[in-house]
Structure 1
């Protein structure tokens, strides 16, 4: 991580004619497509994270944004490679910003592939204080139709808005604001790639307004979880037809501390897989049933007898975020199925 000496504020993106102090926003850069460069003008092939944060923000001045931006690079990677080092650095920077009276909010530039996981992890472990906004892009910065600067401008508006405070971590994409607990990437390449399930988006951003129409939902609210020293190994097991118990045994063999089932339908799997997972649960390895289906709830004791098998139902959380929550719970010493279920129920 760069030293703080290299993180002085950029010139203000715009200056108030009435000399009213502009909100000061910390911008944490991790790379991603928003900082990517295209191999062709269409952006079909590109490399993520090639544009330095300061260079990217240097283009922001022409947008006329009413904010003072303080850049602080964390990484320059595609978000598929994000890991504990980057998460730990982001959490530390945001926690410091929360205590800094000069900082009004935080923006994190991030790749879209794992934005929902990073947002949810931070939301579970940070207080609902100052605005924290993750933003990315579906097109690299120099491709035709690049959406990065528009998304970033919207993120500045959201992070500067006093009504954004207290809502937990937010994700801004395609003129839409999502809560960390609900946001999902639903398309591989469309600019309008994100959805909010099950409660939908929180707000819309237009050229003239930011319209909130829903409160943020925070899983586990009002309880927050302590930031761990490390995260345990938790695997996602995707169920399919003609599948046996061997993948479960392999995961246990490498020491997985928990397993999330990305099941068929409402979190189901072949009988032999369910039996192997039940054995794992009986031996102290938490098992959470989620679904490989894009939408829908996974409820307890429908076709799978969760009470008998010692399983947890993921409810509205898809496999990726179910894994994040389970890792945080285990890291905080919560391994009992009833307590884990309460967390997934939002209690």
Structure 2
């Protein structure tokens, strides 16, 4: 029996056109989903694919407007009994943020796979077709259920919680932290490295179509407290610090953020380091700070937004949620 999958397209390099096989510049989000599915139709994939265009943009433009269309479209597809899973095509620049947001707000009873490409469709060595074929292989596998949202890039499968873009060029542009890839995949094979980890199939958080504003403050040598004041506006409901080292910051910045925390704004300490694990410090309780653990600043922002949207504002309660990611 042929597996039925729904493909939701948002644009990105995987749907990009350069106009030349060797050009450096290209236009993301040029190929529509119908044309793309016609393009992959000749690959001999053992799946019945139906598509829907959610957006056709460069993922640098990804945000709540597209998320608010994408999330219900995924839920609608998953509710169809004959649909075995969903594939989301996406640009790579913000892919990890969309994947993590979906992972926190979708059930895990059917596979949801996010896939992109590092080269446009008319470039020499276009990786999009292989990545897409690999995504079909993953989404068609019953063992992909119970693993949350997955990302397929470069013959590897990553959990949304772990995946991050680490290179601007080349097809091996994604890695995982603290876990590396959780499976290896080709269009004809799939090898999982462990059992599914999601307990139950329910989403971790209810979807919110109005996420609170959370600022990311990037720490650097010589950062002054006045920068905090400039970045924290009237609408700001939380702050994530992309701290140096293990979420560290100067005493001047620490004092400025301590004052913000006393005003009721949650402050999360993350790290600007690529593999930054941030544990709690003895002073965090007194300061009202939260440790991001293994989440990088952009993912810590997504989690904090969802927590605030769901009415969780107490630093201790926020910390418990970060500890579980």
> 152, 159, 167: which is aligned to 1:179?
159
CA contact 2:216–2:240 (8 Å) conserved in 1: yes
Partner of 2:296: 318
**Preserved contact between residue 39 and residue 45 of structure 1 (Cα < 8 Å):** no
Task: Please tell me whether the aligned partners of residues 178 and 201 of structure 1 are also in contact (alpha carbons under 8 angstroms).
Answer: yes
- 81-90 or 63-72: bigger deviation: 81-90
Deviation sequence 1:28-54 (CA, Å, 0-9, x none): 000000000014322410110011111
**Are 2:226 and 1:257 aligned?**
no
1:68 positional shift: 0.5
Is 1:56 matched up with 2:51?
no
CA contact (8 A) 1:26 1:105 kept: yes
Q: CA deviation at 1:133?
A: 0.2
Question: Which of 303, 318, 321 is residue 340 of structure 1 equivalent to?
Answer: 318
| Counterpart in the other structure of 1:244 | 224
Q: Which residue of 1 aligns with 2:285?
A: 307
* Residue 46 (1) aligns with residue 26 (2): yes
Task: Give the aligned partner of residue 293 of structure 1.
Answer: 273
Q: 1:83 deviation in Å? A: 1.4
* 1:205-244 to 2 correspondences below 5 Å: 205-215=185-195, 224-244=204-224
In 2, the alpha carbon distance for the partners of 1:257 and 1:209 equals: 46
The answer for the alignment partner of 2:106 in structure 1 is 126
1:102 is matched with 82
- What CA distance in whole angstroms lies between the structure 2 residues aligned with 1:44 and 1:337? 46
Of residues 54, 68, 86, the one that matches 1:74 is: 54
Between the aligned partners of 1:70 and 1:240, the Cα distance in structure 2 is 47
Per-residue deviation at 1:214?
A: 2.5
Aligned partner of 2:254 in structure 1 is 274
From 122, 135, 144, give the equivalent of 1:164: 144
Shift in Å at residue 250 of structure 1? 1.6
Query: CA-atom RMSD, angstroms?
Result: 1.7
Match of 1:273, SS state, is: helix
Paired residue secondary structure (1:104): strand
Task: Describe the SS at the equivalent of 1:279.
Answer: helix
Q: Is the 8 A contact 1:233 1:256 kept in 2?
A: yes
Tell me, which stretches of 5 or more residues in structure 2 are unaligned? none
5+ residue gaps in structure 1? 1-20
Partner Cα separation in structure 2 for residue 49 and residue 219 of structure 1: 36
Cα gap change, 1:124/1:207 in structure 2, threshold over 3 Å: closer, same or farther? closer
Alpha-carbon deviations, 1:58-84, whole Å to 9, x = none? 111111000010110000001110111
Which residue of the partner structure matches residue 168 of structure 2?
188
Q: Quote the residue 2:178 is aligned against.
A: 198
Paired residue total: 325
User: Does the CA-based 8 Å contact 1:43-1:139 persist in structure 2?
Assistant: no
TM-score for the superposition, normalised by structure 2: 0.96
- Any residues of structure 2 matched to 1:23-34 within 5 Å, and which? 23-34=3-14
Partner Cα separation in structure 2 for residue 208 and residue 129 of structure 1: 23
